[in-house]
Every structure is written in C-alpha cells, then in structure tokens.
Amino acid sequence: MASSDAFKVSSLKDKVTLITGASSGIGAGAAVLFARLGARLALNGRDVNNLAKVARECEDCGACKPLLVPGDLTDETTVKKTVEQTVAHFGRLDVLVNSAGILAMGSIETTDLAQYDKVMNVNVRSVYHLTYLCVPHLIKTKGSIVNVSSVNGQRSFPGVLAYCMSKSAIDQFTRCVALELASKQVRVNSVCPGVIITEVHKRAGLDEEQYKQFLEKCKVTHALGRPGEVEEVAHAIAFLASDAATYITGVNLPVDGGRHAMCPR
C-alpha cells in the first residue's frame, strides 16, 4: 500500500464517535483531534460549561456541530440516555472512546469503602455498562472501542490503591472483550498513559507546589525525561480507533514516555 493511501485510511472522517470524559483532559484532547480528522462526535462529560467549550473548539476545526450528551455515567439512566440519543441523532455508532475517569489518593489504611466504591463505579462499572449498551451498535458497523487506562494498571504504585485496581480491571476488560468481539470484527484496545499534564492530579488533592514537584519528578520516573501532553495520548487513541489499526485488537498500549519499562537503579 502506498504511503499516501495509508494516511487516507487512518482518517476518521465521518465516523460516528462517542467520547466520554470529553469536558477535560485526555477526553477533551481526543474530541478536538477527532474533529480535526473529520469524525462526527457525541460528547459526554459532567462539566456542562467545559463540554460546551470543547464543542466550540471542535466546530472551529471545521467539524460538524457535536452532539452534547452531558451527565454522570455512574447514573444508569444517564448511560442509557447517552447511547439512545447518540444513535437516534446519527443513526449509527462507529467508535466508542471510554475516557471518563477519576483519580483518588489513598492506601489500604486510608481508602475507605466509600472512596473505593466511587473510584470503581466511575472507572470500571460505568465503562462496563456503557460498553455493554454500545456493543450491539458497534457490531453493526464493525466498529472499534478504545479505553483510556493508565500505566497504573500495568505497574504497582503506593498511595493510589483503588485507582491502580480500577485501571488493572480496565486492562483485563479490554483484553477479554477484544476476544469476545473479535469474531464480530469489533476491535477493542486501550491506551495506558503515564503522567500527562491535566487537571486530574489537582482534582485528586495536590496543591500547586505539590503538583510542581510531582511534574519535576517525572524527569527521572519517565525514560523520556518529562511528563506527556494530552495531544500525545489523543493521537494514540485516534490511531487505534482508525482504519490504520485494522489488525490490532486486545492491546494495552503504553503512552508513557517509557515509564512502564523503568526499574529502580
């Protein structure tokens, strides 16, 4: 295949894509990139104002006006409504990007059941439920799913116990569902980011000084010597979702500057 053809097939033009967590961080970055690549977007997020801003950015890229389906995906009615509205509006679904997630600090000594349930409900249960409802539509289009996991699902870190457990669950979910849907030609993959510059760590409780020190430490915890940018993860998501990755399924792809390969010295 000529290189020019390869670039054409990697386009997401006109692919109906539902992106969760699209009001900030990696989800927002993915939404803008998919818009630039010509996708038709349904965007979910909890922050309605931010979601509207992201939608305007998408339109500024020349994309069709995104369908906004805001709401908390831990609410089962919201999940059902999100899928129903997306399919009713576009008539089909080609790509699901599960990007919604939260980070919470805490160890086995400090993470109570309420915090554990909150993390698992957002990061795992809602992903399971949304995917379950989207699968019949993705089978019709032989579509693809990209889950946003983390290096925390592949490597062990103290102080973020529930989060690490939730991302390990997403990695296994990705591999199992990939095998279950392979015969239907639906591909399922995940990206596993390292530290990416977003607001997620501040929302988890780090103040400005702590966050500054945290990013500084990335110079030694990541082989490339820096934290990552949202767009770098978005490009990996777009690749896995696109026709450039038609023979890739069941992959948990590190996008972490080499952090997964690091060992203490």
- For residue 143, which of 25, 220, 245, 56 has the smallest C-alpha distance? 245
Among residues 128, 163, 211, 247, the one annotated as catalytic is: 163
Q: Which CATH number fits domain 3-198+229-254: 1.10.287.130, 3.40.50.720, 3.30.70.3040, 3.30.40.230?
A: 3.40.50.720
Which amino acid would we find at residue 139? I
Condensed to tens digits (0 to 9), the pLDDT of residues 135-190 reads: 999 999 999 999 999 999 999 999 999 999 999 999 999 999 999 999 999 999 99
Residue for token digits 């020349």?
62
Quote the tokens at residue 63: 């994309």
Distances in Å between the Cα of 22 and the Cα atoms of 45, 67, 208, 222 are: 5, 12, 24, 26
Residue 2: pLDDT band by 50, 70, 90 thresholds? Answer: very low
- For residue 120, which of 71, 161, 59, 66 has the smallest C-alpha distance? 161
Residue 102: pLDDT band by 50, 70, 90 thresholds? Answer: very high
Domain ranges of the chain: 3-198+229-254
128 is catalytic: no
Mean of the pLDDT values across residues 104-133?
A: 97
Condensed to tens digits (0 to 9), the pLDDT of residues 33-80 reads: 999 999 999 999 999 999 999 999 999 998 899 999 999 999 999 999
Model confidence at 8: pLDDT above 90: no
Condensed to tens digits (0 to 9), the pLDDT of residues 243-256 reads: 999 999 999 999 99
Does this model's pTM top 0.85? My answer is yes
